[in-house]
Amino acid sequence: MKVLQKEFGYVQVSLGGAPNQYSIGASQTDWEQPTPPQGLVVSKSYFDLAGLTMREKTLFFRTALTQQLGLPTITSGAAGDFVNIYDVMTSSPMTEAQLQLFPGNANFSGLGITATTGLTFDQTIFARARTFSLTVDLAASGYMPKISDNQLGSLSPTASDRIYCYRIVFVNAGGTNKDIVIPPARYILSADAIEEQEFEYLMRLKRSYELQQSHDED
């Protein structure tokens, strides 16, 4: 069994004086704002599986999970301010449109994202959606406790040489001069590398290649 891990650093989001006017901490160069911002910040990475695919192995996933150090915090926050954090692993790269639509639609076909951008249940290896909100009791401390935690994905096997990883943060906080800090996280995948029958492997490899070539970006 192979155990793969990928780490994401913390990010500080500073809210400005108007909707979508905010900035990312200068030192957090691995985070970016999609265009248009839409209240999101995103960090991107990937698991490199080239060593396995060169040996013509298919990766069959056993488990996927995320680890996070502590709760998000907010300064000068008010009860009801919240942050949504989406941890996503896919077998094909996500477009800017997918990144912006995921907080509202994820990969559910009846909500438009599949028709618009092509992200499917099978391509979503694992995703976790959590909401953290400042409560009256914790307003003075600034800690935002978790109020929702949901998971989705297929853990579908792949012959792709990459698993793409995205950490998407959606901020919803009124007012100005607020700083929200999202702690670092780690993505973990455990899988078995298995040699399939030649026909099955070639068909899976063809499908993985088609998905990656559709809109792959380094």
Cβ(15)–Cβ(33) below 8 Å: no
Lowest mean pLDDT across 106-115, 143-152, 157-166? 106-115
What digits encode the pLDDT tens for the residues 40-68? 899 999 998 876 655 667 888 999 999 99
**11: exposed, middle or buried (Cβ count in 10 Å: 0-12, 13-18, 19+):** buried
Distance CA(166)–CA(189), nearest Å, equals: 14
C-alpha distance across the termini of the chain, in Å = 28
* Paired tokens of 191: 């899988």
Mean pLDDT of the chain: 82
What digits encode the pLDDT tens for the residues 65-116? 999 989 999 998 889 999 999 999 998 888 888 888 888 888 876 654 444 4
CA distances from 136 to 13, 84, 171 (A): 22, 19, 19
Distance CA(87)–CA(150), nearest Å, equals: 11
CB neighbours of 93 closer than 8 A, spacing ≥ 6? 164, 212, 215, 216, 217
CB neighbours of 190 closer than 8 A, spacing ≥ 6? 1, 2, 3, 4, 61, 62, 63, 64
Residue 114: the pLDDT is 47
